[in-house]
């Protein structure tokens, strides 16, 4: 079911104060078959969004308020239609249903009842109010399960097409753990001095290839980060270090020593000690995940079509 995105919020200036509301007669803002939705009910639904609408000013605020109010009213109409259908179908929600739902929620979130009560109190919601909200949700779920009976089937072709279109979602971010020995270029731009630094790095490189420990040589010679800890600069991803070094690091096999790398700031020798994020996940490893996503999309569409059918069969008046 499509949910209204809370990109808009309510604005305090748009409402009468609670004391003023009590002084005037509540008016009807929508008629849904034999039942009505009142201004006070709509105002209560809008209250959680008040602070966010304060970021809008002038005409922008008026537009955001109008869109938010109409969107929420339409959602309230849909919920009332579902409740009416549930009543026609004889769907009921017992205290046991509500308590079981709360117990399951607490278990999944690893919370105690005391934790829940504390969280509700912080939001200004009573336990009875929370149970009423849960009851309404469970009622809608039950009637949807009755009315939208057929489970959405998903073919292998649909899974393959989804995988192709969302390929980037299944590409793990490749990263490598790098040790580095770094010698900076001399401040003076003299070829002889630069050549001297290069030769020093070539000698270090030879010692590495002969089997001397990378960590020891890094601690002794490197003038780069983490020299004291063996030159271990941790895991790096694309775009995190100098391009010349990154290019070598991302293709260097684990535990291999690189050649001497020249960059804009100096000379480097690196060793990759670990690699993770091996690129694209296979379709087999994500098949069930994709199947569930497509099923949910199809069910959301079926539910929306069912609600639209309810609307066409019902008497609905909006009186904003």
Average pLDDT over residues 102-130: 90
Tell me the mean pLDDT in the region 94-122. 91
- CA 255, distance to chain mean position in Å, is 36
Q: In the prediction, which pLDDT does 314 show?
A: 96
- How confident is the model at residue 278, as a pLDDT? 61
In which band, very low, low, confident or very high, does the pLDDT at 9 lie, cut at 50, 70 and 90? Answer: very low
Mean pLDDT, rounded, for 274-280: 73
SS3 state of residue 32 = strand
Confidence (pLDDT) at 191:
85
Check residue 12 and give its pLDDT: 34
Distances (CA, A) of 207 to 19, 67, 217, 259, 308: 84, 70, 8, 12, 75
* Mean pLDDT score, 152-181: 86
The residues with which 280 forms a beta bridge, in sequence order, are 171
Q: Model confidence at 131, in pLDDT bands (50, 70, 90)?
A: very high
Where do the domains of the chain lie?
Answer: 94-147, 173-276
At 182, the pLDDT band (50, 70, 90 cuts) reads very high
The pLDDT, as a whole number, for residue 313 is 95
Asked if the model's pLDDT at residue 4 lies above 60, the reply is: no
pLDDT value, residue 73: 96
Segment 249-274 mean pLDDT: 93
**E-strand stretches of 190-279:** 232-237, 261-262, 266-276
**pLDDT at site 42:** 94
More confident residue, 201 or 238: 201
Structure tokens at 218: 């890094």
pLDDT (0 to 100) of residue 55: 80
The CATH fold of domain 173-276: Chitinase A; domain 3 (3.10.50)
| 117-146 mean pLDDT | 90
Q: Is 150 helix (H, G, I), strand (E, B) or coil?
A: coil
CB of 30 within 8 A of CB of 37?
yes
Tell me the whole-structure pTM to 2 decimals: 0.56
Q: How far apart are CA 265 and CA 197, in angstroms?
A: 12
DSSP strand E in 42-174: where?
A: none
CA–CA separation, 35 and 47 (whole Å): 23
**Nearby residues of 40 by Cβ (< 8 Å), 6 or more positions away:** 21, 26
Residue 181's pLDDT band (cuts 50, 70, 90): very high
Does the pLDDT value for residue 118 go beyond 60? Answer: yes
Q: Does the pLDDT at position 280 exceed 80?
A: no
pLDDT at 151: 66
Distances (CA, A) of 145 to 10, 46, 266, 301: 33, 29, 66, 14
Are the CB atoms for 54 and 15 separated by under 8 Å? no
Instruction: Give the mean pLDDT of the chain.
Output: 86
Q: pLDDT per residue over 18-75, tens digit each?
A: 444 443 458 999 999 999 999 999 998 888 888 788 788 889 888 998 999 999 999 9
Give CA–CA dist 12/56, Å, rounded: 12
Per-residue pLDDT at 3 = 36
What is the pLDDT averaged over residues 289-306? Answer: 92
């Amino acid at each position: 079911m499509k949910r209204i995105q809370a990109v808009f919020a309510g604005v305090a200036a748009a409402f009468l104060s609670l004391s003023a509301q009590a002084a005037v007669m509540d008016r009807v803002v929508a008629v849904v078959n034999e039942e009505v939705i009142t201004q006070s009910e709509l105002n209560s639904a809008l209250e959680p969004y008040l602070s966010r609408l304060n970021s809008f000013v002038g005409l922008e605020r008026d537009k955001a308020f109008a869109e938010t109010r109409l969107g929420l009213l339409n959602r309230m109409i849909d919920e009332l239609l579902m409740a009416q259908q549930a009543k026609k179908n004889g769907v009921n929600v017992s205290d046991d249903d509500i308590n079981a739902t709360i117990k399951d929620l607490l278990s999944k979130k690893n919370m105690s009842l005391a934790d829940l009560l504390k969280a509700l109190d912080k939001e200004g919601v009573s336990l009875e109010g929370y149970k009423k909200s849960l009851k309404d949700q469970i009622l809608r779920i039950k009637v949807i399960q009755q009315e939208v009976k057929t489970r959405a089937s998903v073919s292998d072709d649909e899974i393959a097409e989804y995988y192709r279109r969302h390929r980037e979602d299944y590409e793990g971010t490749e990263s490598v753990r790098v040790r580095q020995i770094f010698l900076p270029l001399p401040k003076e731009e003299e070829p002889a001095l630069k050549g001297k630094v290069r030769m020093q790095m070539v000698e270090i490189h030879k010692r590495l290839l002969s089997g001397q420990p990378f960590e020891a040589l890094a601690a002794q010679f490197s003038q780069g980060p983490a020299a004291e800890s063996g030159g271990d600069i941790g895991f790096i991803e694309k775009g995190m270090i100098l391009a010349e070094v990154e290019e070598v690091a991302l293709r260097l096999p684990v535990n291999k020593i690189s050649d001497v790398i020249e960059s804009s700031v100096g000379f480097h020798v690196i060793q990759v000690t670990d690699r993770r994020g091996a690129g694209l996940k296979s379709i087999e490893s994500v098949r069930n995940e994709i199947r569930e996503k497509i099923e949910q999309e199809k069910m959301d569409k079926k539910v929306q079509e069912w609600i639209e059918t309810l609307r066409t069969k019902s008497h609905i008046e909006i009186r904003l």
